[in-house]
Amino acid sequence: MFITIEDETGPANIVVWPSLFEKQRRVVLGSSMMAIHGKIQREGEVVHLVAQQLFDLSGDLSGLADRDIDFKLPTGRGDEFAHGYPASPDSRDRPKPVPEPRDIFVRDLHIDTLKVKARNFH
């Protein structure tokens, strides 16, 4: 069975194998809000989430409307103009470690004495 979900980043397909569907039929067909634990697979632009566990969160859905505070969404790189700089630095902005240079000269190859046979294309 396939279930399609979508958020602000785009759509994703949930793959529910028949054995899991039979075990958790009530959750799949009856829940208003569901949590899915599984493995992500990407094929180009297509994202699949192969479900391993399903959880019915319908009871938590009604509590979301009673919240007095806004959800704080983390800002990403490129959002600084509209939202300011994030409180914690982005780990992708750290400088990458520079690998140590290595000596690739091998004395036993005798590169200075190599002779390449020339070809005359007349």
Condensed to tens digits (0 to 9), the pLDDT of residues 4-56 reads 888 777 888 999 999 999 999 999 998 888 899 999 888 888 888 999 999 99
Backbone phi, psi, residue 62, to 5°: -65, -30
- Give domain status of residue 86, yes or no: no
pLDDT at position 104 is 66
pLDDT at position 84 is 66
Taking the C-alpha atoms of residue 84 and residue 118, their distance in angstroms, rounded to an integer, is 65
Amino acid at 100: E
pLDDT at position 39 is 92
Cβ atoms of 54 and 24 within 8 Å: the answer is: yes
- Give domain status of residue 34, yes or no: yes
pLDDT at position 83 is 64
Domain that holds residue 18: 1-59
Taking the C-alpha atoms of residue 34 and residue 27, their distance in angstroms, rounded to an integer, is 8
Residue 80: CA count within 13 A, CB half-sphere: 8
- Give domain status of residue 68, yes or no: no
The label of the residue with tokens 């009856």 reads: 30
Q: How confident is the model over 73-107, as pLDDT tens digits? A: 666 656 666 666 666 666 666 777 887 777 666 66
- Give domain status of residue 118, yes or no: no
